[in-house]
């Protein structure tokens, strides 16, 4: 099952999506872990997290974007302009960053399919005023989908979707937490592959697959005793090769604080409340936050510090895409705190799918060597 799911992760379109379409289901793309999949699912659709895998550069999107814009946005939009998402019936955007919100504008302007493009406005704070506002925004979006697609999204359907996505999050959490053990059953690249796949699959299918994976990997070990344990703080990443490169250099990625990682599955939506929309709003605003959220750095830092202890992390890699202002800032803050705590750290800044492996490999090897030497010295002194 793991092999199959990893293969799915490298494809833009796969047989499960094809099957969903043949059975009359619509597929709605979405960007960012702040877009509630539950709402899309409750409409009877399949949520599909947008990705740039199998991309062919940025020739067409460069007409719209500058070279100082995010490479994920440029590559993904290029795929749209190349008509590589013909299976989508709509795309949900959100105001996560300046690059992405302009992708919405540019896509609208280009007139490319699909025609249903929606900008969901998500607040940047999680206090009661913002929870109320996000609940209202979700209601507006729900109404918009109902009118645009001629469907009705009932509270019962929302409850069902909440239950399913909670189940999916629980299973992912189980897999994620297995990496706390000495014997790590999954590589970081494989975990990213699982996340890429489950965010493109009908949730019912992904639950079945995840259940099988839990069984499949329970006695598996992928790390060597000499591997150092890495925590990955990252914005968007989808290149498994990059993580393989880190792990092949003598490390194992055991945990993350990333966009396609923990941010996607941290915290469940409360079930059985009077207002499923409010419950959804609460989960999405209160889960571990991305740097787009303001006034939450201390929570993010505490979350990371806890993880460093729980996963017995030796070093941290902070990775961001070039021109990502939000991650650039948070990495500066993490770096300050990690230096204070004496945790070895490496900052990477790269273009998505750039293939600049040589430079990254050298830097990762230097980090790993440094940590191993430090451990050896400590062992010698001890």
Partner 1 sequence: MSQKDFMLLRKTIRTNRLVYGLLKFPRLTAFLLTYLLGPRMIEKETPGNRDTRFGLARLGSGMATADELASMRWYIIAMVEMMENLLKAHEKGEPIVCYDWSVPSEIIRAFHVETTSPVHFNRLSFNNNSDYAMEMIDKADGEGLDYDMCNLNRVAMGAILDRQMPPPTLYVSASHPCDSSRTSNQILHYLSDAEHYVLEAPYHREKEDLDFYAKNLWDMIAFLEKHFNRPLDWEKLKKSVENINAFNKYLREVTVLHRAIPSPNLALYLQNTFSLHMTIPETDYAVNMAGKLLEIARERVARPTRKMKEKERVRVICWDPVPPAFDYYKWIEKHFGAIVVIDYEGSNFIPDIDTSSREAMIRGLGEYRLMTGMIRQTHGDATFITEELEQYIDEYSADCAIMNNTTGCRGNVAAKKLIIDVCRRRGIPVLFLDVDIYDKRINSEAEMKTKIRDFFVSNGWGR
Residue 361 burial by Cβ neighbours in a 10 Å radius (0-12, 13-18, 19+): middle
Rounded to whole angstroms, how far apart are CA atoms 262 and 306? 13
Rounded to whole angstroms, how far apart are CA atoms 71 and 268? 31
In the sheet with 27-30, reading across from the earlier edge strand, the strands are 46-49, 27-30, 90-94, 116-120
Which C-beta is closer to partner 1: that of 109 or that of 218? Answer: 109
- Taking CB under 8 A as the criterion, the residue among 54, 59, 66, 355 binding partner 1 is 66
Select from 48, 65, 329, 273 the least CA-distant residue to 155: 273
C-beta separation of 368 from 228 below 8 A: yes
User: To the nearest whole angstrom, how small is the minimum distance from the Cβ of residue 4 to partner 1?
Assistant: 37
Rounded to whole angstroms, how far apart are CA atoms 233 and 262? 10
Which C-beta is closer to partner 1: that of 117 or that of 214? Answer: 117
The β-bridge relationship of strands 251-258 and 116-120 is: unpaired
Asked whether position 359 contacts partner 1 by CB under 8 A, the answer is: no
Which C-beta is closer to partner 1: that of 136 or that of 212? Answer: 136
Asked whether position 361 contacts partner 1 by CB under 8 A, the answer is: no
Asked whether position 329 contacts partner 1 by CB under 8 A, the answer is: yes
The distance from CA 372 to its chain's CA centroid, rounded to whole angstroms, is 30
Q: Is 118 helix (H, G, I), strand (E, B) or coil?
A: strand
Which C-beta is closer to partner 1: that of 126 or that of 168? Answer: 126
Which C-beta is closer to partner 1: that of 22 or that of 298? Answer: 298
Asked whether position 363 contacts partner 1 by CB under 8 A, the answer is: no
Asked whether position 133 contacts partner 1 by CB under 8 A, the answer is: yes
Choices 9-17, 19-27, 115-123, 204-212 (CB under 8 A): range interacting with partner 1: 115-123
Rounded to whole angstroms, how far apart are CA atoms 250 and 359? 16
Rounded to whole angstroms, how far apart are CA atoms 78 and 192? 23
Asked whether position 146 contacts partner 1 by CB under 8 A, the answer is: no
Asked whether position 80 contacts partner 1 by CB under 8 A, the answer is: no
Between residue 217 and residue 276, which ones bind partner 1 under the rule CB under 8 A?
none
Q: Is 255 helix (H, G, I), strand (E, B) or coil?
A: strand
Q: Where are the beta strands (DSSP E) in 307-366?
A: 315-321, 345-350
Asked whether position 169 contacts partner 1 by CB under 8 A, the answer is: no
Number of amino acids touching partner 1 (CB under 8 A): 47
Residue 151 burial by Cβ neighbours in a 10 Å radius (0-12, 13-18, 19+): middle
Asked whether position 97 contacts partner 1 by CB under 8 A, the answer is: yes
Asked whether position 317 contacts partner 1 by CB under 8 A, the answer is: no
Asked whether position 99 contacts partner 1 by CB under 8 A, the answer is: yes
Choices 59-67, 167-175, 182-190, 245-253 (CB under 8 A): range interacting with partner 1: 59-67
Asked whether position 95 contacts partner 1 by CB under 8 A, the answer is: yes
Rounded to whole angstroms, how far apart are CA atoms 382 and 370? 18
- Taking CB under 8 A as the criterion, the residue among 14, 21, 25, 124 binding partner 1 is 124
Q: Which residues of this chain interact with partner 1, rule CB under 8 A?
A: 63-66, 68-70, 73, 95, 97-99, 101-106, 109, 119, 121, 123-125, 127, 129-130, 133, 136, 291-292, 294-295, 297, 322-330, 332-333, 335-336
């Amino acid at each position: 099952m793991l092999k199959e799911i990893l293969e799915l992760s490298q494809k833009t379109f796969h047989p499960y999506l094809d099957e969903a379409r043949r059975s009359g289901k619509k597929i709605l793309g979405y960007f960012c872990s702040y877009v509630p999949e539950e709402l899309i699912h409750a409409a009877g659709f399949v949520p599909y997290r947008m990705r740039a895998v199998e991309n062919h550069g940025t020739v067409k999107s460069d007409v719209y974007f500058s070279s100082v814009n995010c490479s994920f946005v440029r590559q993904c939009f290029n795929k749209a302009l190349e008509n590589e998402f013909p299976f989508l019936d709509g795309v949900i955007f959100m105001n996560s960053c300046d690059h992405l919100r302009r992708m919405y504008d540019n896509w609208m302007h280009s007139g490319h399919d699909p025609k249903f493009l929606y900008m969901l406005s998500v607040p940047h704070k999680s206090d009661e005023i913002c929870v109320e506002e996000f609940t209202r925004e979700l209601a507006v979006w729900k109404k918009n989908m109902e009118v645009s697609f001629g469907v009705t999204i009932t509270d019962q359907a929302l409850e069902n979707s909440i239950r399913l996505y909670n189940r999916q999050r629980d299973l992912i959490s189980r897999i994620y937490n297995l990496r706390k053990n000495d014997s790590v059953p999954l590589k970081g690249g494989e975990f990213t592959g699982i996340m890429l796949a489950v965010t493109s699959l009908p949730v019912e299918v992904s639950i079945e697959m995840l259940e099988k994976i839990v069984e499949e990997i329970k006695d598996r070990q992928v790390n060597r005793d000499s591997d150092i344990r890495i925590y990955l703080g990252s914005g968007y990443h989808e290149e498994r090769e990059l993580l393989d490169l880190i792990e092949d250099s003598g490390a194992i990625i055991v945990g993350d604080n990333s966009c396609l990682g923990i941010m996607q599955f941290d915290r469940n939506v409360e079930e059985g409340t009077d207002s499923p929309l409010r419950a959804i709003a609460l989960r999405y605003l209160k889960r571990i936050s991305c740097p787009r959220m303001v006034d939450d750095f201390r929570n993010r830092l505490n979350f990371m510090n806890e993880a460093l202890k729980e996963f017995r992390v030796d070093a941290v890699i902070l990775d961001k895409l070039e021109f990502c202002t939000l991650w650039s800032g948070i990495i500066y803050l993490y770096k300050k705190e990690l230096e204070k705590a004496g945790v070895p750290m490496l900052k990477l800044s790269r273009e998505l799918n750039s293939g600049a492996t040589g430079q990254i490999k050298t830097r990762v090897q230097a980090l790993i060597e440094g940590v191993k030497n430090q451990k050896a010295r400590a062992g010698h002194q001890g």
